[in-house]
Structure 1
Amino acid sequence: MTDLDAGLLRTAYDSQLRARPPEPVPPGVTVDRDGPLLRIQGLDRGGFLTYRDLGGLTGAALDGLIARQRDHFAALGLPVEWKLHGHDEPADLADRLVAAGFAPEERETVVVGPVASLAATLPAPPEGVRLREVTDRADLDRIAELKVWVWNNDGNGGSDGSGDNDDSGGADGSWLADGLERELAAGAALDQPPLTIVVAETDDELVSAGWVRFVTGTRFATLWGGSTLSHWRRRGIYRALLAYRARLAEARGFSLLQVDASEQSRPILQRLGFVEVTTTTPYVYTPKP
C-alpha cells in the first residue's frame, strides 16, 4: 500500500507532465503552439493536443481555439486527439468539443505509483518467458503486430495486460513501429536515452511488450504498452514488465511512475500501490474522406 497524497500527485502531474513536447523531438515530428495548446504532429497516426490549462478561455474564444485545431488537421486529412482531463476547466469543455465534431473514446484513469516499492519486486515472468530490451526494427514490427492482434481480437487486451498508457490498435500497426523507431533514433546519441522498450517472449512467440519514457527534469517515468496475448494472461507477465521498468526508473533516479490505466489494468495497479489522481478521455476528430 502507499500513503501518497492524490491531490499533491495531481499537482505534480499537471505541472511536470502536461503540455510537454517529446524530448528530444524525433525527426519528422513538428511541435507548435496555439495559445495554451501544444500541438504535436508526426509522432503517430495523426495529431495530438495537450495543455496545462486553457488560461481561462470560455465561450466564443474557446470555440474558436477548438475550431482552429479541427480545421488545421482537416486540411491535412489527419485525425487529431484532444486529451481531456476530468478536472479540466471550463466544465462544458467536453460539450464544446462534441459540438465541434470531436468524438469521445474510452475514458482512462491517471494513476501514479512509487518507484521504490515496485522496483523492490523481482521481475519474475512465468517459466518459459524471458524479458528482453529491444531496439531493432524487426522487434518493433513484432510489437506492432502483437498490438494489432490483441486490440482487434480481445478489445483492449484483458485484465492482466490491457496495458499502460496505450497506443491502441487498428488494422495497421506500422505507425506504432515507425513512431517508436523515430523516438529510439532521436535518443540514441544521448548518454541516457529517454525511451526503453521491453518485450516478454518465449522461444516461439512474442507474449507482451511495454515501454518506459523517462521525462527529463521531472520525478516521473511514464509507462506504456502492456497488452498481453490472451492465453498468457493472469500469469504475472504484466507485473514482471512493471517491476522491470520500475527498476530501470530507479536506476535513473526517478521516484514516480505514471500510467493512463484502462478499467482492466487499473485494479492491478491500485493493488500495487498506484493512486488515482484524475481521469483522461481522448476526444478525437476524424476528417471525412
Structure 2
Amino acid sequence: MADITSLLATYDEQMRGAPQNLPAGVTWEQDGPVVRVVGRFRGYVSAPPDVGVLGAELDRLIERQRDYFAARGEAVEWTTRGHDLPEDLPDHLLAAGFTPEDQETILIATASELPAEAVIPDGVRIREVAAAPDLHRIAAMESTVWGQDMSWLGDDLIGRVAAAPDNTTVLVAEADGEVVSAAWMVVSPGTEFAGLWGGSTLPAWRGKGIYRALVAARTELAIARDIRYLQVDASDDSAPILRRLGFHAVTTTTPYVWTPPRP
C-alpha cells in the first residue's frame, strides 16, 4: 500500500521551486516566496506549499505578479495544489482577476512497479523524435485534438529539447504516417522524478491502448535511467487509466490564469 503522505511530501520537497532545463530565452526570478518564470508562451508563477503570507500581504504578492506580466502584455498562470496554504489562496487569486482552468489530479508512481513493456496496437508505430518538423507535427495534432491554435507547443518542445536533450524525450505514435498521439518525459535533475506530459490522442484512435503504450514506453526509459518516481498531472479521462497502471493520486492542481484585456 502506497504511503500517500510520504509521496506528497517528497513531491513538495523536490518538484516545487525554481524550474530546471529552461529553453533559451526563458528565465526565472524570485519574488519573496514565489518564483516567476518569464519568456514562455505565458508567464508562470511557482509557489511553495505554504506561501507564508496572509490577507493584504498575500493580495500585494499576487498583484505584483499580475502587474509584472501586464506590463509585458502577457498572460500569467499561477498553479495551485489542493493542499496549498493558505486555504483561501484561490479566493485571493479570483479577487485579483485570475480565472481557474480545469482541475487535474497529480498522480505519482514508483517506476519499477509499473508495466514497462509497451503493447503497441496494430497499425501504430511509436518512435522517439527530436527534429523540428516532427515537433511541429505534434503541435498540429494537439491543435486538432483541443480545437485551438497550439502552434506554440512546437516551439516550446524545440526549446526544451535543445536546452536539455538528455532530459527531454519526445515520443510520437503514428499510423500511416500520421501523428495520432504524442507524449514526452522530462527528467528533473537533482531529484528522483521525471514528469510525464502529453498523451493527447486523435478521437478516431482513442480506446485502442495508445495512451497506455506511451506510458509504458516512457516507464521503460525511466527505469533504464534509475529514475525512481514518475509524476503526471492527469485529466479526468487519463486519471482512471493511470490508477489502473499503478499510479496514486496525491493531490489536485488547478491553474489560475490572468489574461491581459484586449486592446
| TM-score, L = length of structure 2 | 0.97
Aligned residues: 262
Deviation at 1:54, TM superposition (A): 4.2
Opposite residue 44 of structure 2, the aligned amino acid is F
Stretches of structure 2 lacking an aligned partner (at least 5 in a row): none
Corresponding residue of 1:156: none
- Matches of 1:77 and 1:106 in 2, distance apart? 24
Opposite residue 149 of structure 1, the aligned amino acid is T
CA distances 1:229-275 after superposition (whole Å, capped 9, x unpaired): 11111111000000000011111111111000111111111111111
- Matches of 2:29 and 2:170 in 1, distance apart? 27
Query: SS of the counterpart of 2:19?
Result: coil
**Which of 3, 7, 10 is the aligned partner of 2:8?**
10
Cα root mean square deviation, aligned: 1.1
Any residues of structure 2 matched to 1:1-289 within 5 Å, and which?
A: 3-23=1-21, 25-43=22-40, 45-118=41-114, 120-152=115-147, 170-171=148-149, 173-188=150-165, 193-289=166-262
- Matches of 2:219 and 2:234 in 1, distance apart? 16
Deviation at 1:22, TM superposition (A): 2.3
CA contact (8 A) 1:37 1:54 kept: no
Query: SS of the counterpart of 2:208?
Result: coil
CA contact (8 A) 1:112 1:274 kept: yes
Corresponding residue of 1:162: none
Give the percent of matched residue pairs that are identical in Structure 1 and Structure 2: 50
Opposite residue 187 of structure 1, the aligned amino acid is A
- Matches of 1:187 and 1:204 in 2, distance apart? 27
- Matches of 1:201 and 1:74 in 2, distance apart? 40
CA contact (8 A) 2:132 2:154 kept: yes
Query: SS of the counterpart of 2:191?
Result: coil
CA contact (8 A) 1:36 1:53 kept: no
Opposite residue 57 of structure 1, the aligned amino acid is V
CA contact (8 A) 1:150 1:228 kept: yes
Opposite residue 177 of structure 1, the aligned amino acid is G
Opposite residue 65 of structure 1, the aligned amino acid is L
Corresponding residue of 1:167: none
CA distances 1:28-65 after superposition (whole Å, capped 9, x unpaired): 1011010111101123x110111223442001111000
Deviant stretches of 4+, over 3 Å: none
- Matches of 2:96 and 2:54 in 1, distance apart? 14
Opposite residue 9 of structure 1, the aligned amino acid is L
- Matches of 1:239 and 1:107 in 2, distance apart? 22
CA contact (8 A) 2:100 2:254 kept: yes
Stretches of structure 1 lacking an aligned partner (at least 5 in a row): 153-169
Opposite residue 117 of structure 1, the aligned amino acid is E
